[in-house]
Amino acid sequence: MDDALAFSGLVLALSGQLVQEIHTGVSQQGFEDLRPAHGFAFAHISVGGATTADLAEHLGVTKQAAAQLVEELVRKGYVERHPHPHDARARLLGLTEIGWAATRAADRAARAAVAPWQEALGEERFSELVADLTLLAPPGPIRPAW
Amino acid sequence: MDDALAFSGLVLALSGQLVQEIHTGVSQQGFEDLRPAHGFAFAHISVGGATTADLAEHLGVTKQAAAQLVEELVRKGYVERHPHPHDARARLLGLTEIGWAATRAADRAARAAVAPWQEALGEERFSELVADLTLLAPPGPIRPAW
DNA sequence: CTATATAGACAAGTAGCTTGTCCAAATGGA
DNA sequence: TCCATTTGGACAAGCTACTTGTCTATATAG
């Protein structure tokens, strides 16, 4: 059997479907000005303590690209810039209440996308699946890939 | 435990890593002018019988974008356009020998990326994993997602 | 205290997509 | 068979998310 090659296709197919459904779900909850890539930024900013340069490294893009993304999210009301307590050059990024609301909407959409799969496999088998995938997942940051 | 949310993150993380490794592997095998998105086009063209319009629908982009992608792949020597036997407007797309070589390189890279995971879980458990994911995977075309 | 590194901003250029328009060939209905 | 509509593909222009390059102010290390 060529499980290895099949696995690649399956992971790509699932991830594509997942991204699509989360994006659609988030839009339908009223956040129509967010795109899939923004989710990765939210995930990093929501942890707290992130600067634009941190975000750039996390996303694997240039500082310039990260600065533009932050500027866009600030303009749309999802992100705030605060002075950095120990570095007068840097600005700490944080989510606004709207930013948190969008994050919760994305979580809901993700759960909704996964629910049918969870049901199809059954709770127990699904838990084993998650456990297996946890062993495989790389420790690094989650980034958009193409 | 919130398996559903964890599952989303895991799938995205794995797919990101997978895309990255396949791209790197393909580049290292001498195909440095190919990007991840090209793989999805190769997958469709390699089946045979595809036109540019088919490809556009498969990739979920406009005919224009597909035409530009085909033009690029033709220029780089991966794809050929043949006359369509039953439709004087259309052109049948096919892979050149170089195109097939690139496809094989991508397969090798995918296997290499998956191999450590296969080993980490063990053959049997990995096979069950593939079986589970097969149940979940949507039937439609595999597309780049963001 | 000086040299180097870093956070962020300003400016310009690029690549991969989009919309809009058009033509020629295919298709379907009367 | 003729005409109306659809479809495959091409040409042109524009947009957007990125890039590289340069600069200033602040921080850090020797």
Q: Are A146 and B143 in contact (CB < 8 Å)?
A: no
CA quadruple A71, A140, B26, B111: dihedral sign: negative
- The residues spanned by each domain of chain A are 22-136
Are residues B21 and A14 in contact, defined by beta-carbon separation less than 8 angstroms? no
Confidence at A3, pLDDT banded by 50, 70, 90: confident
Which two tokens mark B117? 């995971």
Q: Which residues, including other chains, have CB under 8 Å from residue A41's CB and lie 6 or more apart?
A: A55, A59, A69, A70, A73
* CA of B105 vs chain A CAs: smallest distance (Å): 12
Looking at chain B, the whole-number percentage of residues with pLDDT higher than 70 is 93
The minimal CB distance from A10 to the residues B12, B137, B145 is found for: B137
A121/B135 touch (CB, cutoff 8 Å), yes or no:
yes
Nearest C-alpha of chain A: how many angstroms from B130?
6
Question: Would you give per-residue pLDDT tens digits along chain B (146 residues)?
Answer: 588 999 999 999 999 999 999 999 999 999 999 999 999 999 999 999 999 999 999 999 999 999 999 999 999 999 999 999 999 999 999 999 999 999 999 999 999 999 999 999 999 999 999 999 999 887 666 655 44
Nucleic acid strand D within 7 Å of A61 CB:
yes
Give the integer Cα–Cα distance in Å for A15 and B40.
Answer: 14
pLDDT at A146: 45
Mean of the pLDDT values across residues A35-62?
A: 94
Q: Which nucleotide is nearest to B65 (CA to C1')?
A: C17
pLDDT in tens, B9-47: 999 999 999 999 999 999 999 999 999 999 999 999 999
Specify whether domain A22-136 bears CATH 1.10.10.10: yes
Q: Which positions in strand D are less than 7 Å from the protein's CB atoms?
A: 7-13, 17-21, 25-28
Q: Please report which confidence band the pLDDT of residue A2 belongs to, taking 50, 70 and 90 as the band edges.
A: confident
Distance between A91 CA and the closest CA of chain B, angstroms: 28
The reply to whether residue B8 touches residue A17, judged by beta carbons under 8 angstroms, is no
Contacts of B13 in chain A (CB under 8 A): 137-138, 142
Alpha-carbon distance values, A107 to A119, A122, B100 (Å): 18, 21, 41
The CATH T-level fold of domain B25-136 is Arc Repressor Mutant, subunit A (1.10.10)
Chain A residue with CA closest to B125: the answer is A132
B145 and A11 within 8 Å at the Cβ level: the answer is no
Burial of A82 (0-12, 13-18, 19+ CB in 10 A): exposed
CA B60, C1' D2: Å apart? Answer: 37
